[in-house]
Every structure is written in C-alpha cells, then in structure tokens.
Structure 1
Amino acid sequence: MEISFVGALIVLGLLLVGRLGKMGLLGILPISTLFSSTAVVSMGFLGGAPLLVQTVIAGIVIVYYGLDALRRIERGGSRVQIALIAAFLAYGILSAFLFPRMFEGATSVFSLSRSFDVFFAPIPLQPSSGNFSQLCYFVLDLCLLTVLSARIDEVSIGQLDRGFEYASRFLALIVLIELPMRYSGFGDPFFFLRTANYELLTDIEIGSFKRLTGFATESSSFGSQCAIFLAYAYIKYNSAPKSLMRLMTLVVLTIGLVAATSSAGYVTFGFMFGLAVLRSAYGSFRQRIQPSEVYFFVLVSLGVICVGLMYLAEYDFSALNSLLDTLIFNKANTSSGIERGSWNTQAIRNFVETYGFGIGVGSSRASSFFLALLSNTGVIGTALFCMLVLELFAHYHLSSNRLNAVRFSILVCVFSISLMGTVVDAGVLFYTLLGLGLAEVTRLRKEYARMRLRYQAAPPGEPLPRG
C-alpha cells in the first residue's frame, strides 16, 4: 500500500471546505469528481489499482450516511428504486465470480488484469484480478447510489444541488487558469495532481493545438466533464435567478470543452446543443421563449467563434484542417480509433459467445460503456441498468428545477460514456447525478401525495391547498 501525500491533502482540504463552508459532506462529493487523476492510495489487493479522491470521498459518504439511509428505507423509501439497485448489485457480484469460470476459454477478452504482459491482444477468458478490482468499484458505486437515493430530506438534496453548482464554477476556474498557461508555453499547470498511474493516451498536443486536460486523466475525460457540468449549469441558469456568475460559467465551460480538442467531447457537445434547441423549441410552443435561452445560444456561439479565431490568429488553416481530420473525419483510422474498434468488436463477440449472459464484471473492456455493460453483464444487467435510469423519466408529471437539471445532465452523461466508457463502472459522477435525481423524484412523489390528501380532506368548494 502506497499513500499519495497530494491526494491525502486534497481529501482533507475538501472535508475542511465542506465543514467550514457549510456545504456538508454531500456538497463536496460533486467537486471531488473533478480530481479524476489524483490517487490517495494504491491498494495491493486491488492489483495496484489506485483509490482516487472521488472514491475516498464516496466511501466516507457511504460510511457516514449508511445506517441512516437504511432506516429511511425501512420507514418508506422508494421500494422500486431500492429493489432495482439491489438486483443490479446482486447480479453484478454473481457475474464476476460465476461467469468467468462458467465460460472459461469459450471466448477471448481484452483483460483488465494488470498481471498479463500482453495488454493490447485478446487472451482466453479466465478469472483474473480485474474481476475483483472492478467489482469493488461496482459495489461502491451502487452503495453510493443507494445512500444518495435514500437521503430524501430537503437539506441533503439541497447540499448535493449546491455541490454541482460549485463544481461547475470550479471547473470554469480550472479552464481560466490552464488555457493561458498552455498557450504561453508554461505547460501543464496541474501536473503535480496526476498521481494515479494510468496507461491511457495522454497526448497534450495535436499538431499545433494544445489540449486542455484540467484535473482529468486525459483530454477526452476533461471534455466529458465540461459537457456534463455545462448541461447542469445551463438548466440552472434558465430556471434559477439570473446572475453574471452563472452566465460566465456557461461561456467558460464551452470554451474549455472546445479547447480540450476531444472528438468525443465535440460529439457530446453537439448532442447537448441539439437537446437544448429541442427543449427551447418545445417551450416556445407552450409559452414565450425565455430571453435567457436566446442569450445562452448567442454567447455559446460567440465562445466557439472566439476560440476558433484565437487558433486561426496563431496558426494557418492547414493546422485547423489537420485537427479536424484527426479528431472527426479520420478518427477511425488513427491508432486510438483502430484499437478501440477492436475492443468493441470483441465485446460483441463476448456477448454472442456467452449466449447473452455476459463474461462477468471486470473480465474485459470496450470503447463504449453500453458495449462493456452488455459484454460483462449480458442482457439482464443491461436491462436493470436501463430501468434504473428510466426511473428518472417514468414519472413525467413530476418536475422541479433540480430534477430538470439532473435529467438533462444524465442524458448528456449517458451519451458521453456510451462514446468513451471502457468498463462497467459508470463512475462516481454518474451515480451521484442519478442518486440526486432519484432522491428528488421520491421527494416530489411524497409531496404530491400530501397535496392530494389535503385536497381530499378539504371541505367541498374549498380551493386546492398550496403546497
């Protein structure tokens, strides 16, 4: 076991901020997800896999709120949500131990185990350390989801909501620090935070274009972070009182997403922008379109144009053409594209050759979260995951600013991980968002039920009570 001084210091700093800033432990959870390349400790029993800052904070949340969450479930929490989470968790554990042995040698996989020297070539399926290490992350994520979805009081939900707003502003501050330092020749200003050892493509330059990485492992992850928090900040800006801080956060996060030069980030941004246009169009049919939405589209367009002009002022058009060709038009022919394509092809074979059961959590990787989920957990695991996400949208009559922000962000997050997720672990950020959304759904359902009871108990002719 090897402890990282930087990671431990960040955890202590976040806990101190949560305490002194009255954000609470839940408020710092979304902020901790930004430190996705900072390890706190490397665990030998996990095959040397690092425990990141977000993992440690999530573990503290589970321990601190676990017993209280169980009591709330017993007092009438959402039984459907808890049943789905429990079923998904049980099936994941069963698959990790049973399927690699049941289908041993029946198919080939790109193993997640660190014990194999051959990393980029498929090997016959067999039990490996990846089954245990990835299962630990899988269990932690679903335990976190259980705790968050059971914390249905207004204070806890408000802390999580504020945490996402502060995380969006903090991410914008990271962009404002890194962008000028990259182009002034200083290099990576956050290199000291990258204490986790990952074997990923971490190029920080494509042609003449510098790539922003923030606190993330690579530019693609940073672009995904910008898109998810931009989606949350966009809904909050349109539904909450307007402020210059919220407006500047939107513009800076857009610039950061563009400057990350990630093909997955660009496609995710296009998907999010399309959702925003459809949402505004639907709102215009029901009522007059909000001026804030017009301002958002104008400022986002100006942000993209400014970044483009900055690039063109320093470089010629051949550099821009090379960038677009590498990231978009010729992505499939790059070494990264070829490698990820082979992962996806093998994931589909794993699903077919195991008759739809899957090869077990942690047995293999893919270049798409849903292909990784389908190949690792099969039809049953994929169906349970989709049912959990659909719980956010099943009760379409329920609506609030928080729930709308979570729904919009979840769609962007799901789209993003479907492009670049490599393992069954959807990440602490995703399950924090989902937990906040499920808790808000349960709270609104209880509030709606109380309003109905008050209405039924009111004398005839009385107006509908407010609530």
Structure 2
Amino acid sequence: MSIEPIGVMTLLIGLVCLMLGTGALVHGLAIVAVLGAAAAMLIGAANIQPGHVMLVFLAFGVLSHRREAVAAIRALHPNEPGFWFTCLVAYGVASAFLMPRVLAGMTEIIPLGTTAFDDTGSTVPLAPVSSNVTQSLYLSTTLLCLVTLTAVAATREGFSAVFNALLACCVANTAFAILDVATYATGTQDLLGFIRNARYTLHTDSEIAGMKRIVGSYTEASVFARSTLGVLGFTGTLWLCGVRPALTGTIATMSLVLIVLSTSSTGLAGAPMMLLLLYGFAFARLVQGNARRQAAMFALGAPVIGLAVVMLLLLDPEVTAKVYGYVDLVVLNKASSDSGVERSSWNVVSFQNFLDSWGLGVGLGTARASSFAVALLASVGIPGAFFYAVFVFECFARPRGQPGSLEADIAVAARNGYAGLLIGDLLVGPIIDQGFFFCMLAAVAAAIRPRASRVPRPVPLVSGARL
C-alpha cells in the first residue's frame, strides 16, 4: 500500500472540511469526484480514487449525527428510491461471488478484471476475476454516497449544500478541461501529472487529425464526454429555468463547445440528443405558457440559428467538407475502426453471456462490455435490470415538487443531467457503476418528495437564486 501526493492532499482537505461542517464536506466530495485519472492510494493493483477517500470523511461527518443517520435509514425505506438501488447492489454483490462459481465454464467471457482477452485475442471460460471484488466495492461505495447525500439533502440547508456542490462539480469539470487544453498547447502537461497517476491506461496526450483529444481530469476523451453530457443537461436546464443564468448558461455553453472539440465519438453522437432534449423542454414550457425568458429565446431562436448555420455551410463547400470530414473521422467511421470492431465484439459476447446465464447474469464485474445496457444485462441480468429501472423511475421520472417551483425545476435539471450521463453510458459504458456525479443528481432528485407539492413556497436555496 502506498499513499500518493494527491492522496495526502485529499486527506488534508478532508480533515479541514470535517472541521468546517457538512456543507464543506459535500463540496469537497463534488470537486475531487471529477479526478477520474487520479489515485489517492495504491493497494496492490487497486486504485483508491480521491473521491472514495473524501466519501469516508463525508460519511463519518454526516452519519455521526443522529438526525442525518435517521434520514439515511429512512432513505432505505421501500417507498424511497434508495431501497431499489440497495436491492441492485445486494444482488450485484451476491452475483459477483456466486455466479462465476456456480456457472463456471458454462459460457465464454471477455474478462473485465484481467488482460487475458487483450493478450490472447480470444475469450476465456467463465471463472472468478479480480474485478468481481473491486466492482462490488465500487458499487457499494456508490450506494453509501447516494444514501449519505440523500440524508444531507433531506433538510433545506442540506439540499442547498448538495445543489451548490453539484454546480461546483460542473465548474470543476469545465476548469480541468480548459487546463488540459492549455497545458497541452504550452507543453506543460507534467503540471497535471499529480492527478494522472492511476494505474489505468491513460490517453491524455492523444490526437486525431492534429486536434487534441480533450480528457480533462479523466482517463480518456470518451469518459470526459460522458461526464460533460451530464453537465450540459443539468446546467442547460437550470439556465432555461432561469436559475443562476449567468453561471449555468456559461457552463452549459462551454460544455457544449468542449464536447464538440473533444474529438470523442461519444460526445459528438450525444450532443445532438442533449440539444434536442433541452429544446423539447424549452418548447414545452413555451407552449404551456410558463417559459422564462431564456427558454422562450431558446425555443424560438434555436431553429433560426440552426437554419442559418446550415445555409452558411451550404454556401461554403470548403467549410462543409471540413465539417463533414471531422464528423466522418470521429463518428461515422468509428464502427469500422479497430477500436469500434473490438468494442462491438465485447457487446456480442456479453449479450451471449446474458443468454447463457438464463437471464440471471454472470456476476458483477465479470464480463467486459461497451454499453451500459449490455453490461447491466450481462452482469446482473433481468433481476438487476428490474431493480435499476424501478430506481430510475422512482428517482427521476416521478413528478417532484410544485409545478413551476424552484424545487421542481431542480428536479427536472437533475433528470436531464442523468439523461446526459445515461446517453454516454449507453454508447460506451463498460460497467454499471455510474459514479459520484450520478449520486449527487439522484440525491437532489430523491430528496424532493411528491408531498413537497403541498408546500406553498419553494425551497429557498440562496437569496435571489433566479436573478
């Protein structure tokens, strides 16, 4: 076991935040959660990320208080979304230890926890792998994070803290992306070496057609694009709702630009979907007659701007050729590339694992896939997919808060942020653990109970929140 410099820094930040209180702890977790390429500690081949270290401080600081502990237990009640996520984790952990042993040798897998497939170029018989343990731990910490943040958000002050921490996470995601581009352009990439020390395969200096592949604080461009799609959905919706428009509008715009320039097929394929989702939300608000100025401007102006861009492209064949060449290189030819063919083979084999296991799954962390949906079915089968679907419905799909209130707008923003993460996961997600940003979105959504619609006033986040 070794503690890295970023780990020492995280420990110090955690101690300071612990003395400052719950709000500081939540903000600390939100900021370090974006450090996806960092390892605070190295235990054998396992990377302990700064987010997991900060989670220990948060859980201790929150659950040591009686009121928050009671709220955490309440979050596991069968009427709450956390109950269904707990069922998913329980089934996932049980499947990780049972299925590779009970079904040993009954199907061929592309193992997630080893490099056997990369070394041999073929599948191997089903058997336990190291990631059965690591993925069980990661998913369990995600549950702990979800329950803890839901307990914090159960109070008005705590809800404000989690919401503000979400915005801090979005700012950090954007800031690290700008630092990534700036350090690469100036040849000073080593300045970010202390947050790029994990024992993963890192693609931090890759290029496509002379363009830097933007990775931010993550391991590769697709992971950055996936996270930024969530940021775009969350901050874009808040801007349309008039919630801190200067901040949320700036972050949403920068996120869209970074996604387009990231050279990630995940980002370029997901961005139009997110823009369509945001436009549908703005247009629905306009039709209902309760659109704020930003939503009305977007609903009426987006088609005009889109038509103008198309006309300009048609009038300049040279620019059109460059745009088409970029999209063709990054997206259209992706499926026929070596990477695309390999990832498609992962999904084919993983789906066969789902069929060979009679729909029960071959165990959490066992099989390698390249889509969240396939990974979910291959790992935890129909039971796990059912638990996850009910959790998502209870957390994100049910109406929350009084229509038109600030709490209802935040709930919709959390839902659209989750939609962005899900789009990215469906395109390239290899595992079913969706991380701490997902937990924060779920916490603010789950904390807004349906009964909140009977409260005559919205939750006061900060003075002049809509100004």
TM-score, length basis structure 1: 0.84
Name the structure 1 match of 2:126.
125
2:117 and 2:423 mapped to 1: Cα distance?
Answer: 32
Distance 2:122 2:396 in 1: 40
Gaps of 5+ in 2: 313-317, 403-407, 457-467
Q: Aligned pair in 2 of structure 1 residues 414, 15: CA closer, same or farther (>3 Å)?
A: farther
Q: Following superposition of structure 1 onto structure 2, how do residues 334-413 of structure 1 map, counting pairs within 5 Å?
A: 334-396=337-399, 398-399=401-402, 400-413=408-421
Q: What's the CA shift for 1:148?
A: 2.3
Structure 1 residues 296 and 252, CA, compared in 2 at 3 Å: closer, same or farther? farther
User: Within 5 Å, which residues of 2 pair with 1:280-299?
Assistant: 280-287=282-289, 289-293=291-295
Which segment drifts farther, 79-88 or 205-214?
A: 79-88
CA positional deviation for 1:426: 1.8
How far apart are the structure 1 equivalents of 2:303 and 2:38? 31
Could you tell me which residue of structure 1 aligns to residue 465 of structure 2?
none
Aligned length: 438
Task: Report the equivalent of 2:462.
Answer: none
Equivalent in 431, 437, 440 of residue 423 of structure 1: 431
Q: What does the per-residue CA deviation read over 1:101-154, in whole Å, with 9 as the maximum and x for residues that have no partner?
A: 111001111112247485553211111222111111111111222222233111
What is aligned with 2:258? Answer: 256
Q: Which residue of the partner structure matches residue 135 of structure 2?
A: 134
Per-residue deviation at 1:276? 0.7
- Percent identity of paired positions between Structure 1 and Structure 2: 25
Matched, 1:55 2:70: no
The alpha carbon displacement at 1:89 in A equals 2.2
Question: CA offsets per residue over residues 441-460 of structure 1, 9 Å max, x none?
Answer: 3xx52x44677xxxxxxxxx
- Alignment-mate amino acid for residue 349 of structure 2: Q
Matched, 1:414 2:417: no
Q: CA deviation at 1:402?
A: 1.9
Instruction: Give yes or no for contact 2:17–2:25 (8 Å, CA) kept in 1.
Output: no
Q: Deviations over 1:325-364 (max 9, x none)?
A: 2211111111211111011001110000111010011111
Within the candidate set 177, 185, 207, 2:209 is matched to 207
| Per-residue deviation, 1:187 | 5.2
Pairing 1:100–2:118 present = no
Alpha-carbon spacing, 1:361–1:319, altered in 2? closer, same or farther (3 Å): same
Q: Secondary structure at the match of 1:333?
A: coil
Asked whether the 8 Å contact 2:351–2:378 carries over to 1, the reply is yes
- Contact map agreement 1:15 1:25 (CA 8 A) in 2: no
Instruction: Label 1:255 to 1:21 Cα distance change in 2 as closer, same or farther (>3 A).
Output: farther
Between stretches 286-295 and 216-225, larger displacement belongs to 286-295
Compared CA separation, residues 228 and 394, structure 1 to 2 (3 A): closer
- Please give the alpha-carbon distance, in whole angstroms, between the structure 1 residues aligned to 2:179 and 2:142: 31
- Please give the alpha-carbon distance, in whole angstroms, between the structure 2 residues aligned to 1:243 and 1:353: 51
| AA aligned opposite 2:410 | R
Give the direction of change, closer, same or farther, for the CA distance of 1:299–1:11 in structure 2 (3 Å limit).
farther
Q: Which moved more, 1:272-281 or 1:198-207?
A: 198-207
**Equivalence for 1:12:** 12
> Does the Cα contact within 8 Å between 1:344 and 1:367 map onto a contact in 2?
yes
- Summarize deviations over 1:201-227 as a string: whole Å, max 9, x none: 555210111221111111111122222
Aligned to 1:461: none
Structure-2 separation of matches of 1:349 and 1:404 = 36
Give the Cα separation in 1 of the matches to 2:303 and 2:339: 30
Q: Which amino acid aligns with 1:216?
A: Y
Matches of 2:328 and 2:205 in 1, distance apart?
16
Query: Residues 26 and 163 of structure 1 are in contact (CA less than 8 Å); yes or no, is this contact kept in structure 2?
Result: yes
Distance 1:31 1:225 in 2: 13
Alpha carbons 2:92, 2:380 under 8 Å: kept: yes
User: 1:424 deviation in Å?
Assistant: 2.3
| Conservation of the 8 A alpha-carbon contact between 2:40 and 2:49 | yes
Whole-angstrom CA distance in 1 between matches of 2:278 and 2:336: 32
1:77–1:197 distance in 2 versus 1, CA, 3 Å: closer
C-alpha distance in 2, partners of 1:52/1:150?
23
User: Unpaired segments of 5 or more residues in structure 1?
Assistant: 310-314, 452-467
Task: Trace 1:200-349 onto structure 2 (pairs within 5 A).
Answer: 202=204, 204-287=206-289, 289-293=291-295, 321-349=324-352
Asked whether the equivalents of residues 232 and 420 of structure 2 are also in contact (C-alpha less than 8 Å), the reply is no
Q: Distance in 1 between matches of 2:259 and 2:15?
A: 28
Cα distance change on mapping 1:282 and 1:300 into 2, 3 Å: closer
Q: CA distance change for structure 1 residues 401 and 8 in 2, over 3 Å: closer, same or farther?
A: farther
TM-score, structure 2 normalization = 0.84
Q: Which one of the candidate residues 171, 177, 193 is aligned to 1:169? A: 171
Corresponding residue for residue 79 of structure 2: 80
**Contact preservation (8 Å) 2:237, 2:278:** no
Q: Aligned in 2, Cα 1:116/1:330: closer, same or farther, shift over 3 Å?
A: closer
Kindly tell me: are residues 149 and 17 of structure 1, through their superposed partners in 2, closer, same or farther at Cα, counting changes over 3 Å?
closer
Cα separation, 2, equivalents of 1:22 and 1:425: 25
Alpha-carbon distance in 2 for matches of 1:296, 1:281: 8
Give RMSD over aligned pairs. Answer: 3.2
Alpha-carbon distance change, 18 to 178 in structure 1, aligned in 2, over 3 angstroms: farther
Residue 264 of structure 1 and its aligned partner are, at CA, apart by 0.4
Matches of 1:103 and 1:137 in 2, distance apart? 23
